[in-house]
């Protein structure tokens, strides 16, 4: 289905099943299909599974914005507003809200901006939060602003190679060639303009003030071998979010949802059943 979030922007939403809703927000530059290994399991357990292609990704609309202009269409504020519009249009309540990587940052900002509206529990998966790039007073991230700027330039001139190089660092364990091809196709399904604008939000936004505003039980899943969002980010979130639980994935990189698939799904289910 499509949900209109602004007069000229519609988001694709996959909504299957009945029961307590689990709302999934994907990472960069992925789309809702990232979560098929969770849909398969959780639908059988009686949950309603909802996954959104965020603006610019997958089957959703991708409003164009000049790369030289200020980023206004792909900010954490607009992402949070879109999440709320989906929640309101679908009349969701008692939601389990889930976000991976930048999707985790989107979830964090939604919880802070809208006071955890209609959310009963949250899961932050390898979250690119509270910061994705280094600051003088925050040195945990793997990336600095210059390295993100280089990635932006690489995308401008060879997007397939740039996203393939990124995807090669997502998983800690070896994946099959067909699986790697599937990830590459997923990455390339994101609009080219949005691919860069999302990166600019990752580079620039500081969500440290959001952490203290989260007041629902929150699980923080993080891989010890994450090369994109280092494990220290998960520790920082755990330290600063009340009622949070840190679940460590010893054998996972950034893509913990597949590196340790069975543990991931089991820990996920245990948390939401508590």
Average pLDDT, the chain: 95
Domain of 201, CATH number, reads 3.40.50.1820
pLDDT at 26: 98
**pLDDT above 90 (res 220):** yes
Alpha helices per DSSP H over the chain:
36-44, 76-89, 102-113, 145-167, 177-188, 192-204, 231-240, 256-259, 261-273
What residues make up the domain containing 141?
2-273
Residue 258 has a pLDDT of 94
Per annotation, catalytic residue among 60, 101, 201, 252: 101
Active-site pick, 172, 254, 258, 259 = 254
Residue 254 bears catalytic tag: yes
Domains: count for the chain: 1
Upper half-sphere CA count for residue 257 (Cβ side, 13 Å): 24
Confidence of residue 104 (pLDDT cuts 50, 70, 90): very high
Q: Check whether 68 has a pLDDT greater than 90.
A: no
Residues 6+ apart with CB under 8 A from 269: 41, 42, 45
**Catalytic residue at 158?**
no
Cα–Cα distances (Å) from 30 to 113, 182, 191, in that order, read 24, 11, 11
For residues 247-267, give the mean pLDDT: 96
- Residue 229 in this model has a pLDDT that exceeds 90: yes
H helix runs in 17-75, sequence order: 36-44
Pick the catalytic residue from 226, 244, 252, 258: 226
Tell me the pLDDT tens digit for each residue of 30-42: 999 999 999 989 9
Q: What is the CA 45 to chain-centroid distance, rounded?
A: 23
- Over residues 72-80, mean pLDDT: 96
What would the pLDDT profile of 162-217 be if each residue is shown by its tens digit? 999 988 889 999 889 999 899 999 999 999 999 999 999 999 999 999 999 999 99
Q: Is pLDDT of 274 > 90?
A: no
Q: For this structure, is 238 an active site residue?
A: no
Q: Indicate whether 20 pLDDT > 90.
A: yes
Question: What b/e readout covers 88-119, taking b as 16+ CB neighbours within 10 angstroms?
Answer: eebebeebbbbbbbbbbbbbbbbbbbbebbbb
Q: What is the dihedral angle through the alpha carbons of 185, 186, 188, 189, rounded to the nearest 10 degrees? A: 120
């Amino acid at each position: 289905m499509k949900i209109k979030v602004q007069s000229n922007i519609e988001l694709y939403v996959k909504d299957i099943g009945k029961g307590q809703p689990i709302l999934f927000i994907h990472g960069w530059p992925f789309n809702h299909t990232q979560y098929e290994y969770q849909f398969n399991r959780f639908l059988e357990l009686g949950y309603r599974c909802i996954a959104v292609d965020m603006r610019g990704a997958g089957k959703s609309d991708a409003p164009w914005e000049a790369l030289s202009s200020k980023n206004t269409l792909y900010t954490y504020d607009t992402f949070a507003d879109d999440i709320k519009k989906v929640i309101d249009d679908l009349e969701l309540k008692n939601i389990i809200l889930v976000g991976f990587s930048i999707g985790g940052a989107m979830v964090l900002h939604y919880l802070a901006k809208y006071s955890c509206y209609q959310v009963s529990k949250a899961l932050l998966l390898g979250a690119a939060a509270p910061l994705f790039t280094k600051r003088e007073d925050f040195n945990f991230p793997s990336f600095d602003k210059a390295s993100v700027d280089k990635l932006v330039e690489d995308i401008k001139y060879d997007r397939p190679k740039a996203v393939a190089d990124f995807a090669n660092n997502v998983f800690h364990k070896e994946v099959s060639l067909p699986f790697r091809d599937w990830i590459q196709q997923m990455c390339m399904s994101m609009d080219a303009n949005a691919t860069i604008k999302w990166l600019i939000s990752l580079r620039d936004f500081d969500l440290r003030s959001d952490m203290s505003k989260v007041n629902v039980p929150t699980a923080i899943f993080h891989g010890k071998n994450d090369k994109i969002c280092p494990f220290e980010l998960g520790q920082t979130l755990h330290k600063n979010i009340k009622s949070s639980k840190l679940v460590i994935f010893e054998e996972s990189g950034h893509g913990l949802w597949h590196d340790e698939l069975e543990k991931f799904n089991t820990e996920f289910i245990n948390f939401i059943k508590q």
